[in-house]
Homo-oligomer: A and B are copies of this chain.
């Protein structure tokens, strides 16, 4: 063995992820990433191979983080009201908190077209499917329990929620403020409440 790393891999990855989130893939130059992470590009390359793999690692971290965040809302006892609370929670994040200003890393990436590789695009699609899976599992159970009307198409409802969110995230990014999507999401919440029996 020899000299150990002078940094924590996860901390560096999180900082890199924030940089990508804020500035996009092309917008995050190696210089930016060095400044954001506090380590030199050599260390970045030794640890993460190259810029694309660093980005993919950031995507994976973001995926896990979102998955965890949703899981804490959508346990097996969750109600339609918890879904509403989840939406309100996302939209009312502290506007000074950095992520609230940058939209959603995955949505941003979906529309970043210059050098988006097949794997990066695939990761965005997988992320989307993961989110949809959460909604479908919750809504499906609620429908079985009779809390949601039987004429509601669960697939359509799940796509509706994520579609609304992605629109809200786009607008949030443009205005660097999630609360501009409040009016939109008020109506989304009305619609969701209307699914109840």
Interface mask (A147-189 → B, CB under 8 Å = 1, otherwise 0): 0000001011101101111111011011100000101111110
Q: Does A125 contact B (CB under 8 A)?
A: yes
B174 and A159 within 8 A (CB) = no
Q: Given contacts A160-B187, A164-B167, A168-B167, are A173 and B114 in contact (CB under 8 A)?
A: no
State which residues 128-160 of A face B: CB under 8 Å. Answer: 128, 153, 155-157, 159-160
CB distance from A31 to the nearest CB of B (A): 14
Q: Given contacts A166-B170, A167-B164, A181-B163, are A113 and B121 in contact (CB under 8 A)?
A: no
Q: What range describes how many residues of A lie at the interface?
A: 35 or more
A184 and B170 within 8 A (CB) = no
Q: Given contacts A23-B114, A166-B167, are A187 and B191 in contact (CB under 8 A)?
A: yes
Contacts of A160 in B (CB 8 A): 164, 183-184, 187-188
Contact partner, A107, options B27, B111, B186, Cβ 8 Å = B111
Q: Does A26 contact B (CB under 8 A)?
A: yes
How far, in angstroms, from A160 to B175 measured CA to CA in the complex?
A: 17
B111 and A111 within 8 A (CB) = yes
Contacts of A162 in B (CB 8 A): 167, 184
Taking Cβ atoms with an 8 Å cutoff, the residues of A that contact B are: 22-24, 26-27, 103, 107-108, 110-114, 121, 124-125, 128, 153, 155-157, 159-160, 162-168, 170-171, 173-175, 181, 183-188, 191, 194
Q: A156-B183, A159-B181, A160-B183 are in contact. List 4 more A-B contacts (CB 8 A).
A: A27-B114, A110-B170, A162-B167, A194-B194
- Top 3 A-B pairs ranked by shortest CB distance? A167-B167, A163-B184, A160-B187
